[in-house]
Amino acid sequence: MKRIASVTLVMVWLPFVSQAQENANPSLMQALMQAVSSATVSDAQVADLSRQAIKEMDAKNPVAAANDSYVLRLNKIVSRHQTMGGLPLNYKVYKVADVNAFATADGSVRVFKGLMDIMTDNELLAIMGHEIGHVINHDSKDAMKRGLQLSALRTGIASRSGTVGKIAQSQVGDVADYLMSAKFSRQQETEADDYSYDFLKRNGYNVMALATSFEKLAKLNGGAQSGKLASIISTHPDSQSRAQRVRDRARRDGLAK
């Protein structure tokens, strides 16, 4: 299975490119091409593309059945959190060994088996809170805009008349190369960390779960298990220092010694 980019909507753009040829809504696509030209993409457009993309991603990955032990565990973990920041959420587990998770602007949260195998329940909540933080903070919208602009530049999918052009399959790889290496800014990552910390604190969870989840990622990044690591590692750079930042804040808040 191909390695899937993590952190919110990075994985959305590639399905968007392939969908444009086949079954995307024409009026939506024309509006998006016009949006690329004006460098604006609405929240509704991003959410609509997310729904298209997640449907394709679910079809291409082994989704755990409703009675699967991983699904039962995840359902128990998130039972109190069917919405976050006013966004209705839907959760699924991919039976994939990669250490990965992502959330998309339509409220879809996908957690990989490999991540569940190494994280406690609270650590999983901390990571999901971080990923959803990117959506709530509109980082995913900004990332989608960059992806659409690059796609337009590289493939010419937006013509002068605003109509949708054809996208050759051979061109998809060029777009994917950029998208797989795209990262959020340090400020965006810090704000997503803060969102997860506040979520844990507000709901009575141990905020140190965010620190220990980063420490586990840092350990994996420095170890010999890179074959099972998805891009959650590269998109969570300097995990050790971010864990220390959480610990420092928890001490200031009187939540840790």
Per the model's pLDDT, the better-predicted residue between 9 and 193 turns out to be 193
Is residue 191 part of the annotated active site? The answer reads: no
Q: What's the longest Cα–Cα distance across the chain?
A: 62
| 165 in a structural domain | yes
User: Is residue 45 within 8 Å of 24, Cβ to Cβ?
Assistant: no
| 126 in a structural domain | yes
| 219 in a structural domain | no
Per the model's pLDDT, the better-predicted residue between 216 and 230 turns out to be 216
Whether 177 shows a pLDDT value over 50: the answer reads no
71-121, pLDDT tens digit by residue? Answer: 999 999 999 999 988 889 999 999 999 888 888 888 889 999 999 999 999
pLDDT at 39: 53
**pLDDT averaged over every residue in the chain:** 73
pLDDT tier for residue 135 given thresholds of 50, 70 and 90: confident
Whether 28 shows a pLDDT value over 70: the answer reads no
The single residue of 56, 131, 189, 215 carrying the catalytic annotation is 131
Q: What is the CATH number of the domain that holds 118?
A: 3.30.2010.10
Nearest 5 degrees, angle CA 27-CA 29-CA 31? 70
Q: What total number of domains does the chain contain? A: 1
pTM of the full structure: 0.73
pLDDT at 225: 46
